Structure 1
Amino acid sequence: MTNLINKIICLLIVLGTAVSVSAAPEAEYKKLVKSWALNADGSQVFHYNMELTIYSYLAMRSLYGESFIQYNPEYQTLKINSSYTKQKDGTIVKTPDNAFVEVLPRTAVDAPAYNQLKEMVVVHTGLELGTTIYLDYTITSKAGYLPELDIFEPIQQASPVKEYSLSVTVPVDRDLSYSLANPEVMAKMNVEEGMRTISWNLKNVKPASLAPMQRIESGDMQYLACSTFENNKEALNYLFEQFDHPESMPLVSLAETLTEGKNTDTEKLQAIHNFIVNDFAHSRLSLNETGYRIRSAEDVIRTAYGTDAELINLLYGLLSAAKIETKVCAAYPVKDPQECSILKAIRLFIQAKADGQTYLLTSGSPKMSEIGWTADYCNIRDLKTGEEMDLTPCSPDLSYDVTMKLTDKEAVSTIKANIPAAFVAYSDSKATAFSEGDKNASVSQKGNMITVNYQTTEKVETVPGYYLLRLPDSPAGVSHQPYASFNSTRDCNLFLPYAPNETYTYTIEVPANMELSTPVAEKNISNAAGNCIQTIKQNGNKVEVSRSLKIDSNLIKRSDYPAFHTLMAAWADINNTQLLFKQK
């Protein structure tokens, strides 16, 4: 017995050690410094300094074995001020010359117009557990390369930061709007030799969460936002002035070709949007990486590729040339208008109107822009005027009314599906993803709701004396989304694409030689995240099933996440989406 107790104690010690080891960080920034400066001559300087201590083999071999510094040598100068490691015993290992490797950034590989961009890869040497990496560099940008000082910088890093310093310096006669999304840290101001410096000193910054589906809109992500643009109109106009005029002959000519034989504005819009989405290579370079430059529509057409901003420019030009009412819109991921002069954070999309319908278009997807779901959380402005726009968020309400006729071999379902238009590609006039191949399916649309009537047949799974019927549902339904099977715990808020609201009703005609084996029941779960109701009833030879799920908000706060997970577990449970019948 004593030996058994000793073994148990040893096991508990080992488990406790394992837990403490797993909870320890892979690495820690002992010091992290980031500073930006706008000089009187218009040039800009970014300074970076870090001291990072390695605690695990994962950090040493994968996470922090290299540092990546992207810059444009045509307009920017990179200077490595110092780079070395200090091993646990105090030995200094300087980074050798052959450990500084210049490569083409991955985002620029398929964009020849931006192949001048460089990425300096600093390979850190002499690494072992307990080693501290020291890296200090400066990037200086020539006057005129960047339009203004424009900063949108995440605060939290992959590892905790013990001391974190941030500063922004501008001439005293320049306006500077700034905000740090951490109300506990106050800004300090210092004026010296005609320059004004705003700085923040943070202590013990926790690492960023690794949980999926985080967004700035959820309030979890801390960031520094600064800009010397006078206002959002000035900032947005800087981009819009680079957009092509829709009267230009290349755009007019191409628009005529693309819309030839199209009789309605909707058909014209679909043809042009399909052309942008499907006929161009889409470069992943951001506005910041291109220096906020947008190539002309003619260059994009000639080279058959473009950045998101460049393809939005082309889409806007072609739609306007086709006489379709069109606006370029910029969505900021924060509501605070003080931060709306930041260009680095915006997402561009097109608002177009055709035949009484409003379309929210992007360059990379045939479906509605995700902004259509999250308009309440964003600040949306007209790129041309800078004026704030009100977008009515799309309704996610989805319902299926299913009548099924069951035999011992198959189930024939007649389905009436009411589907939000945002779930259907703008080019998919037949809603083929929802009609399951029924060539006789009928499709109609009223406002933002598409109704599809179709039939489908599926085999019934059988074992001697029993029959298993799976209830059909929408391929866009919540049970098919990744967040339906997330972990039971979460260390941050969850931001959903939309707040689901689904209803399914099934009426199943059962043959005389079968009876329902699944118990008749009613389940009702209502909590802080929403509600889930599921009922099974039997009325003679008919079985009636009703399922509904309603989530109250896109934003699931961390405190409400257990309630949300409970609803998802009940909704996605396979036992609630199938019925068992037995032979009489």
Structure 2
Amino acid sequence: MNKKRYYIWALWLVGLFASSPTIAQKSDAIINRLEKHYTLFPDGRMQYREVKNLTLKTHYAFHRSYGESFILFNPEAQTLSIDKAYTLMADGKKVETPKNAFNAVLPRTCSNFPRAAHLREMVVTHTGLEVGATIHLDYVIDTRAGFFPALMGNLTLPQEDPVKEMKVVVRLPEGTPLNYHITKLRTAPEIMQEDGFTVYTFTFPNLAPRSHDQWQPTEGEEYPTLTFSSSKDLHRLIDRYVNQEAFQLKCSPAMLQAATEKTKEATTEKEKISAIQSLVANEIRHFNIAEKHLGYQLRTPEQVWQSNGGTKAENALLLTTLLRAVDLRATPVALFAPGTPHKRAGNLNEIINYLVEVKTKDGQTSYLATNREHHTDASEEYPGYHTLTLDAAIESLRFTTLPRTSLKRELQLTLHFTPEELTTQGTLFLSGKHGPSFKENDTTEYLDKLKELSIKPADVTQLEKIEPKGVKVTFRTSGEHPEEGRNGYYLLSLPHLDSDPIDLQPSTLQESRTSDIDLGNPLLISYSFEVNIPEGYRFVIPQTDIRAKNSFGSVEIKYRQREQRLNISKRFMVPSPTAKKEHWKEVKTLFDLWRTGTHHQLFIKEERM
């Protein structure tokens, strides 16, 4: 065997990873060895091999996390072979996995989807499990030539539990270049020539586990990643992808008729957009199957329409086609996380979703999701992400970075309390995430965002659009008085709007965290209440106001009473949604202050003679 070895010494970031004994103390398992092998053969065939060896540390590990392994493959293009599967019990006894522990089933995501009914998921049920046992699994998936457009990988290196050593090995025929990109680490592979192949070996020791914290940056920003491709560059991959017949976006007579019928009562472009989106969201089934399992081959919009269901990409093309059928400027786009894709090493595996870009005659650009009836701009869900236009007519890659727009919620209320009823009049303002709706005149879309106060569409006195993307709703209503408690006390819950941190789960605000913070959008919440009570009643209010300001933002709550009138102003502001984990205490302080229950309720006391 003729072997030539070339070594490129790794430069590791000091302190990025903790040692295994330290990070293992709070984990459910230790992954002793994790290997991922990718091979491209000269005839175009591909092979993927995975070797995993892990030791169980808790009962949870084998009851919930690692008791079974799931391997999804496409039997029409791939062959799965299980080379080794056994367990070493805590006393060293070896238990081979029996034949009846291997069961190929239909993946849950393929249920009721004829196009993917041939896919299989091999469920490997591990036996002999106990605390201290070690599971070993080694399997290979062989893929026929032409099924994938290139040998591609997109790996987030940290796993759910700590890894003592991870290896990624990529084998390519000599002369075939490998484009790769590593984030968060200054390292490079060992490169070796072996039997007509160039072998790249990436070694990553002592990987700390992923964090389970809320409000994490996207994986590409928070964790080390490895992306690679045998394609010359991303442009070649995209060109091949969009030159499928599906991207011709042909509309059948039946589709045109349905789109025309659905929009016949629409008087504006946005009403048309809403109507077509509702058609796809409610009448077309959505199957969450990664495109790679189907070889990145998409059916035409007409085929999707006739089958009444498609993948994320297929439904995006269908939505685009129907929007164009009613003379709207629509284009399908692929969605990439911040920091991706790499122009050379990037690949189709990095696409995390598909949206539809729509441009209206007033110059506004909006993005539509396909998997739910979501009448607001979907770009608000993906601040800082990148879209790539999917159009065969475009000669170069066209990326757009979605902005981090501020999430604004403002509420002004005047309340008149009597023992018989509570009269409320006020105005709410919404902007940013979950803000203005494409259903421009449907006040229900906005009133549903008001919590602790029931307002009906008939209560709305004015609906006003605030450009570029805001809406203002004015209303007046009367209802029953607050619930009377003991000894003449009445409890009034102060209303709030959606996306208010008051609704956060307590687990979100844990005492400490291991990852940086990213709320997604800057935040501005502002409430103003005027509460009026009759003679014979008095307010029971906190004795002090709240004013807190730090490097992350500010919270201010003020009370001003004049006889039978109480004015309450509340303001929560976060100018920048990101912070380092070292500043978590400051972040938590603001959220804890804002969520204090006594500042979201008001007691009114009847003065009895």
TM-score norm. by structure 2 comes to 0.86
Structure 2 runs not aligned, ≥5 long: 1-21, 448-454
Q: Which of 539, 549, 560 is residue 572 of structure 2 equivalent to?
A: 549
Question: Is 2:367 the partner of 1:360?
Answer: yes
> 1:518, CA displacement in angstroms?
0.9
Partner residue in 1 for 2:442: 430
2:399 aligns to what SS in structure 1?
Answer: coil
> 1:260, CA displacement in angstroms?
3.0
Task: Give distance in 2, aligned partners of 1:236 and 1:483.
Answer: 44
**Between 83-92 and 358-367, the greater mean CA deviation after superposition:** 83-92
Could you tell me whether the CA contact under 8 Å between 1:496 and 1:554 is conserved in 2? yes
Partner residue in 2 for 1:383: 390
Deviations along 1:17-37, one digit per CA (max 9) or x if unpaired, are xxx999443221211111112
Q: Alignment RMSD, CA only?
A: 2.5
Instruction: Give the letter aligned to residue 84 of structure 1.
Output: Y
Do the aligned partners of residues 324 and 433 (structure 1) sit closer, same or farther apart at CA in structure 2, a change above 3 Å counting?
closer
Question: Is 2:501 the partner of 1:478?
Answer: yes
Question: Is 2:425 the partner of 1:406?
Answer: no
> 1:259, CA displacement in angstroms?
2.5
Partner residue in 1 for 2:327: 323
Partner residue in 1 for 2:465: 445
> 1:536, CA displacement in angstroms?
0.5
> 1:198, CA displacement in angstroms?
2.4
Do the aligned partners of residues 227 and 410 (structure 1) sit closer, same or farther apart at CA in structure 2, a change above 3 Å counting?
farther
Structure 1 runs not aligned, ≥5 long: 1-19
Q: Which of 266, 272, 281 is residue 270 of structure 2 equivalent to?
A: 266
Partner residue in 1 for 2:16: none
How does 1:495-574 map onto structure 2 within 5 Å? Answer: 495-519=518-542, 521-574=544-597
Do the aligned partners of residues 104 and 519 (structure 1) sit closer, same or farther apart at CA in structure 2, a change above 3 Å counting?
closer
Could you tell me whether the CA contact under 8 Å between 2:220 and 2:338 is conserved in 1? no
2:474 aligns to what SS in structure 1?
Answer: strand
Instruction: Give the letter aligned to residue 441 of structure 2.
Output: S
> 1:135, CA displacement in angstroms?
1.2
Partner residue in 2 for 1:87: 89
The alignment-based identity, stated in percent, is: 26
Deviations along 1:238-290, one digit per CA (max 9) or x if unpaired, are 33333343443344344333333433322221111000111122111122232
Question: Is 2:279 the partner of 1:275?
Answer: yes
Could you tell me whether the CA contact under 8 Å between 1:246 and 1:252 is conserved in 2? no
Deviations along 1:37-64, one digit per CA (max 9) or x if unpaired, are 2222222111111111222222233321
Could you tell me whether the CA contact under 8 Å between 1:527 and 1:563 is conserved in 2? yes
Q: Which of 325, 343, 346 is residue 341 of structure 1 equivalent to?
A: 346
> 1:373, CA displacement in angstroms?
4.8
1:344 aligns to what SS in structure 2?
Answer: helix
Could you tell me whether the CA contact under 8 Å between 1:274 and 1:427 is conserved in 2? no
> 1:561, CA displacement in angstroms?
2.0
Matched length: 564
Task: Give distance in 1, aligned partners of 2:91 and 2:49.
Answer: 29
Task: Give distance in 1, aligned partners of 2:204 and 2:377.
Answer: 36
Do the aligned partners of residues 323 and 178 (structure 1) sit closer, same or farther apart at CA in structure 2, a change above 3 Å counting?
same
How does 1:3-22 map onto structure 2 within 5 Å? Answer: none
Partner residue in 2 for 1:577: 600
How does 1:56-67 map onto structure 2 within 5 Å? Answer: 56-67=58-69
Do the aligned partners of residues 212 and 288 (structure 1) sit closer, same or farther apart at CA in structure 2, a change above 3 Å counting?
farther
Question: Is 2:462 the partner of 1:461?
Answer: no
Instruction: Give the letter aligned to residue 342 of structure 1.
Output: N
1:461 aligns to what SS in structure 2?
Answer: coil
Partner residue in 1 for 2:199: 197
Do the aligned partners of residues 185 and 492 (structure 1) sit closer, same or farther apart at CA in structure 2, a change above 3 Å counting?
same
TM-score norm. by structure 1 comes to 0.90
> 1:144, CA displacement in angstroms?
0.8
Task: Give distance in 2, aligned partners of 1:524 and 1:345.
Answer: 44
1:143 aligns to what SS in structure 2?
Answer: coil
Task: Give distance in 1, aligned partners of 2:132 and 2:302.
Answer: 55
Do the aligned partners of residues 254 and 369 (structure 1) sit closer, same or farther apart at CA in structure 2, a change above 3 Å counting?
same
Task: Give distance in 2, aligned partners of 1:96 and 1:369.
Answer: 52
1:53 aligns to what SS in structure 2?
Answer: strand
Deviations along 1:525-545, one digit per CA (max 9) or x if unpaired, are 112221111100123432111
Instruction: Give the letter aligned to residue 443 of structure 2.
Output: A
Partner residue in 2 for 1:107: 109
Deviations along 1:406-442, one digit per CA (max 9) or x if unpaired, are 2234332211111126424534632314332141413
Could you tell me whether the CA contact under 8 Å between 1:29 and 1:162 is conserved in 2? yes
Could you tell me whether the CA contact under 8 Å between 2:380 and 2:432 is conserved in 1? no
Task: Give distance in 1, aligned partners of 2:152 and 2:413.
Answer: 54
Instruction: Give the letter aligned to residue 388 of structure 2.
Output: R
Task: Give distance in 1, aligned partners of 2:390 and 2:82.
Answer: 38
2:496 aligns to what SS in structure 1?
Answer: coil
Could you tell me whether the CA contact under 8 Å between 2:156 and 2:220 is conserved in 1? no
Deviations along 1:362-385, one digit per CA (max 9) or x if unpaired, are 11131445533544x323221224
> 1:337, CA displacement in angstroms?
5.1
How does 1:47-446 map onto structure 2 within 5 Å? Answer: 47-216=49-218, 219-242=221-244, 243-250=246-253, 251-336=255-340, 338=342, 341-346=346-351, 347-356=353-362, 357-365=364-372, 366-368=374-376, 370-375=378-383, 377-384=384-391, 385=394, 386-420=397-431, 422-424=433-435, 425-427=437-439, 429-435=441-447, 436-441=455-460, 442-446=462-466
